[in-house]
């Protein structure tokens, strides 16, 4: 039986195990999806050596960047460009097992936001500067949208702080993507600190979060007439893409 799995720490509730095991059962695929909760990335080798039927892995927090030195190659258009890996394809056979890193978050995000993009959407604000924000920036770039990061602290020339969100900045950036954990269950009364009163029906607010379905960030955008979307479709599409990568 083929094995697929997820490495991360801590894992707690994971969407992937449920999604893939249901898929395997529904489609009669002789495979199992297993969570590998490893307290250090040094245990990566142990996981792959102890599971000789392992064909592919998903990677989550905190190892999306730390896993890179353990891989033989990175997919140029996704993982290498973004600098983060969330899918590993394991190629066995030959003298040495090969590990290739990919990033399916970029595909999930790009495919899910593309139908909502209009001529108003030339520039974007990306809230948060963590791992996911880098994939979002590359995805927006692929759609011809220029991004500016918004952080709690000034980091570089392409990053502003929440205090810098002037009416001019809000008027010139009509796509706003929440890449922070603010508003995620159970802290549903939290939201990023942006001037919501400056939002208009020309704005598109995309939240990477999907629990709750409608976050406070989305509610406040909707109140101003903005278009809003949560991260559920991205989550499903990135899992779909991971499966495509493993089957190629």
Q: Could you tell me how far CA 65 lies from the centroid of its own chain?
A: 13
Structure tokens at 145: 């949208």
- Rounded least distance, CB 101 to ligand NAP, Å: 16
Can you tell me which of 74, 79, 105, 245 binds ligand NAP, judged by CB under 6 A? Answer: 105
Neighbouring CB atoms inside 10 A of 2's CB total 14
- Rounded least distance, CB 132 to ligand NAP, Å: 3
Binding mask 30-69 for ligand NAP (x = CB under 6 A): -------------------------------x--------
- Rounded least distance, CB 45 to ligand NAP, Å: 24
Distance CA 138, CA 78 (A): 8
Neighbouring CB atoms inside 10 A of 157's CB total 7
Contact call for residue 101 and ligand NAP (CB under 6 A): no
Sheet containing 98-102: which strands, arranged edge to edge?
Answer: 31-37, 2-8, 54-59, 87-91, 98-102, 73-74
- Contact positions with ligand NAP (CB under 6 A) in 121-150: 128-133
Can you tell me which of 165, 209, 216, 228 binds ligand NAP, judged by CB under 6 A? Answer: 209
Collapsing DSSP to helix, strand or coil, 244 comes out as helix
Number of residues binding to ligand NAP, judged by CB under 6 A: 23
Residues forming contacts to ligand NAP in the complex (CB under 6 A) are 61, 105, 108, 128-133, 151-152, 179-182, 184, 208-210, 231, 234-235, 238
């Amino acid at each position: 039986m083929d094995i697929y799995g997820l490495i991360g720490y801590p894992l707690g509730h994971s969407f992937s195990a449920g999604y893939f095991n249901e898929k395997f059962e529904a489609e009669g695929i002789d495979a199992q999806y297993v969570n590998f909760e490893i307290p250090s990335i040094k245990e990566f080798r142990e996981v792959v050596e102890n599971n000789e039927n392992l064909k592919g892995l998903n990677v989550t927090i905190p190892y999306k960047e730390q896993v890179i030195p353990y891989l033989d190659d990175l997919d140029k258009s996704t993982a290498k460009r973004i600098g983060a890996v969330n899918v590993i394809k394991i190629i066995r056979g030959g003298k040495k097992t090969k590990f290739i890193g990919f990033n399916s978050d970029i595909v999930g995000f790009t495919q899910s936001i593309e139908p909502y993009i209009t001529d108003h959407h030339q520039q974007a604000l990306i809230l948060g500067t963590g791992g996911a924000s880098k994939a979002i920036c590359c995805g927006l770039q692929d759609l011809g949208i220029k991004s500016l990061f918004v952080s709690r602290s000034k980091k570089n020339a392409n990053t502003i702080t929440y205090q810098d969100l002037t009416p001019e900045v809000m008027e010139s950036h009509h796509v706003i993507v929440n890449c922070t954990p603010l508003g995620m269950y159970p802290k549903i009364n939290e939201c990023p600190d942006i001037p919501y009163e400056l939002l208009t029906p020309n704005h598109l607010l995309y939240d990477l979060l999907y629990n709750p379905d409608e976050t406070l960030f989305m509610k406040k955008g909707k109140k101003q007439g903005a278009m809003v979307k949560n991260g559920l479709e991205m989550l499903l599409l990135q899992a779909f893409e991971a499966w495509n990568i493993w089957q190629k």
